[in-house]
Structure formats: C-alpha cells, structure tokens
Amino acid sequence: MNRTENVLEIRDLVKDFPGVRAVDNVSFDIKRNSVHCLVGENGAGKSTLIKILTGAYARTSGTILLNGEEYDSHNPREARQKGISTLFQELNVVDQLTVADNLTLGLEDTTLGFLRTTDKISRMVSVMNSIEPSIHPRQQVSRLSVAKKQIVEIAKAVASESDVIIMDEPTASISESEVERLFAIIHRLREQNVTVIYISHRLDEIFEIGDYVTVLRDGKHIGTKPISEVQGRAELIRMMIGKTVFEEYTPKEDAAREPLLQVRNLSNHKLQDISFDVHTGEIAGFYGLVGAGKTELARAIYGIDRYEGEILFKGSKLQPAPEKAIAAGIALVPEERRSQGLFTILTIRGNVPVMNMGKISRNGFINPSAERNVTLEYIDKLNIATDSTEKEASKLSGGNQQKVVLSKCLFADADLLMLDEPTRGIDVGAKSEIYGIIRQLSQEGKSIMIFSSELPEIMNICDSIYLLCDGSLRATMRNSDDVDTEEIMHIVTGGECEE
C-alpha cells in the first residue's frame, strides 16, 4: 500500500444545496495514524463533509486523495471497501442477529447464494477479542449496551482493514466509564495504523484524545492545528463562533411581570432537576448543543413524555397530556416539522384550524366559511406563498410549511408558545419573517419559549437565555449587549460555570 504521510488530502471541496453552500472551498490534510478531531457549531458543515467522505452525498467540486490516490465513493459500502469506515450516531448493527453475524454482514462468502463458512468469521472474532474480550460472538446484539455495539462496529471496521475510521459523536449516548474504554480503544487503533476522524461537541474530549483539530464554521475551513498548539478551550470556541454579528436585539423594559409558567424540579430519563419561571410577554431562549435536553424539556412541559416534579401554568398544576396543555393555553411547534407538526397529505385548509376546531364549529359541526376565512387570514398574516387554500401542504417549500405549522399553533390562541428549532432548514427570508412574528406576539403579551441549537437565533430575539447541557440547566442570564458568547459556548460544551 502507498504509505503517504497524509492518509487523506481534501482540496477545494465544495458542496452546494439549493440555496445554500454547505461546504465552501474546504482544504486540509489528515495525517496518517493520528486522531483528527472535527469541530464546529451545528450547521458548520461537519456532517456534510462526512457524508461526502462516506459517499452519502456527491460533492459539487473539489478533490479528495486517499493514500495519495483520487478517491470517490457512491455509498458507505463502497467507502468501506476503499478503506473508510464510519461509526454513525445511529449505529448500523442489526439487533436481531448475533455478534458474529453482524461482523460478517455484507462481507459474507457465498457459493450460489448459500453462505459458506470460512476463516473470515474466526478472523473477525479474533480482532474483536483483541479489542474487547468480554463480548461473546454468539451473543445477540440487542442484549449489548450502546458502547458494546460501538465496539462491534469498530471491530468490523478494523477487520476489514480500514485506513480511516470516522466516529460521529461516539460518546453522545454512553456512560463515563465506557468513554474511558472507548478512548483506550482509540489509542490502540492508532498503534494499529488506523487513522480516526473524531467528531464531538464535547471540547474536553477533543483535548484528551485528539492529535489534530480542524474547525469549520459556516461551511468554511477556519483552521487545522495540532492540539498541543491550541490555547485551551477559549481559542477553540473563538474559532468556532468567530465574530458573530448579533443584530437588532433591544432589551425590553423590565416591567413588573407575572410568572406564567413555573417549572419545579423537573426530572425524567433525560432531564435533571430543572426549575425556572417564564413570565408574561417574555421570550425565553433555551440553548444547548444536540442532546442537551432541549426537545425533552419541551416535550415534558407539553405532556408528551413522563416526568417527576411539578409544572404550574397560570398558577395551577398542568395535566400531562397535549390536549390538556392546549386547553390550558400552551401550543408547541415541534422539532420535526414533517413527522410531528404537519399533515403533509392534507391541504393548507386541512392544517391551519386543527388545534382549535371549537372556534370554527358549533356543536361539533364545522362552519365551512369560518374555516376558509381563518385559513385565508393566516395565509395573509404569515405571508404563506400559495395560490389556494386547497394546496397540499407537501407541495409547499420548507419555510412555508413551517409557517403553516406556526399558523396552526397561533390559531390555538395560546398564551405560551413553545418553538422547538423553529427555523431549522428554512431560508434566510422566511427566518427573519418568523422572528418578526415572534417579536410581535411578545408585544401582544404572549410568552414564548424558543428551543434552539443556533446561538445567533437565541441572541437575536430572546429576553432571557437558559443554557442546557447534559439534561440539566447550567446557567440563566438576561440578554443584553454584554452577554459573553464565549462564556456561553464554554458552559454548553460542558465547561464549569464561573458563577
């Protein structure tokens, strides 16, 4: 095999999506037998870059050299054959099969379609034994912990002689002792001539395990450095967020305000002892990285997931069910627009009034003209681009779909509107329109909770900022000109709070 110094060389890589350049002229090298970390905020281009390497996306332009040779892949299987294996966040193991079956899955030797027993299995098993002897090859994979499933995948990658193993947030769902073991395995991989591309939001891990770090921001390559030359978390954070310009937030007068929502000692499978108040007319922003517990917090308040602790709304205890929450005056714009918010096969008219059918009906009978008028009113109010109330929601663009979901929730006439990632995947124009609507609602005395993994979004419109990390509320602050974004990044990436 060609022993170049760099196992991977990425040159002028570009990936365009309609309206967005997700990867913008990125060039950097990955040294052989190193642990190379990839960091950046959500939307910085990490996932896109990885998906190009694994063949899930086709690049728009640019070159990638693997072992000094031009590299291209059309699917993860081809990538693996060429020497790049990936440990996805959603692991690719088949729960119903045994460990041994999983190891050889897709690599079976066959004669006329019948499986043939070869020494391949024993070779795979011995590789896995050398990594983690406690996993028995006959064991069913569904019985293994997430960490051990990862090890099965790592073993498979090593046994198929990968030069590069990409690990996407491997520590997101495993325990601390398991993290230690994973790191030990990564060190061993490096000795076995394997290069690891390591992606994590947890900056402490980067310093512990990494040899090099590459920072991406807004699709651009900001820098690649040996970890030893990085001046602590602060420098990394500065590279990640850059000089973000936060526009237009004007602090509100701190009038005497009533608490509308009071959350006390909320805990569940994901959340740990969260308490806070949201006041009338307040825009509260909940910021944290992926997996910090934002969505889980919204779901608990809305009564979708179980919890312990107490939630008071307008002074009385909230019954944990969505229909009860809506009746009390809470509406949720869910995280997943298409699967949780929108009825894609129904028309706009079929979507808009559903959360408040009482308003367009009498004794259970719908008043068609009221229904039509309401739909027209919201099409107009939110500037939904359509030529008819009868247009199928699936035929609208992402931004307009989100406006339909928003219309649904606004029509519910809620006093508290919760928005989970309200502008994910929609274009800049629609984004600022949605911000405008949120500000106006707040002026009308409605309270708003925004759950977002985009810091600029939080800084632009929220009056108060709540920082979440690993399911607990780490800090609370008023938004103002002197809010320190580096401090915020420090806290949400797991750093100690200074207060």
Q: Where does this chain bind other proteins (CB under 8 A)?
A: 302, 304, 322-323, 325-327, 332, 334, 339-347, 350, 354-355, 357-358, 361, 364-366, 368, 372, 376, 379-380, 383-390, 392, 408, 412, 427-430, 432-433
Closest CA to 465 of 443, 442, 484: 484
Cα 18 to Cα 371: distance, rounded to the nearest angstrom: 35
The least distance separating other proteins from the CB of residue 338, rounded to whole angstroms, comes to 9
Which residues neighbour 362 within 8 Å (Cβ) at sequence distance 6 or greater? none
Cα 431 to Cα 248: distance, rounded to the nearest angstrom: 14
CB 451 within 8 A of CB 421: yes
Cα 154 to Cα 169: distance, rounded to the nearest angstrom: 14
Q: Which is nearer to other proteins, 34 or 386 (CB)?
A: 386
- Give, as one character, the DSSP assignment of residue 169: S
The least distance separating other proteins from the CB of residue 426, rounded to whole angstroms, comes to 12
Q: Which is nearer to other proteins, 108 or 323 (CB)?
A: 323
The least distance separating other proteins from the CB of residue 143, rounded to whole angstroms, comes to 23
Q: Which is nearer to other proteins, 194 or 355 (CB)?
A: 355
The least distance separating other proteins from the CB of residue 452, rounded to whole angstroms, comes to 19
CB 251 within 8 A of CB 439: no
Tell me how crowded residue 177 is: count the other CB atoms within 10 A of its CB.
9
| H-run or E-run covering 12 | strand 6-17
Rg, Å, the chain Cα set? 25
The least distance separating other proteins from the CB of residue 396, rounded to whole angstroms, comes to 11
Q: Which is nearer to other proteins, 174 or 346 (CB)?
A: 346
Q: Which is nearer to other proteins, 161 or 305 (CB)?
A: 305
Cα 302 to Cα 371: distance, rounded to the nearest angstrom: 26
| H-run or E-run covering 69 | strand 69-70
The least distance separating other proteins from the CB of residue 379, rounded to whole angstroms, comes to 5
Q: Which is nearer to other proteins, 184 or 321 (CB)?
A: 321
Q: Which is nearer to other proteins, 273 or 323 (CB)?
A: 323
Sheet (strand 20-31) strand order? 20-31, 6-17, 61-66, 69-70
Which residues neighbour 294 within 8 Å (Cβ) at sequence distance 6 or greater? 286, 287, 288, 420, 451, 452, 453, 468
Q: Which is nearer to other proteins, 58 or 327 (CB)?
A: 327
The least distance separating other proteins from the CB of residue 448, rounded to whole angstroms, comes to 18
CB 65 within 8 A of CB 147: no
The least distance separating other proteins from the CB of residue 449, rounded to whole angstroms, comes to 15
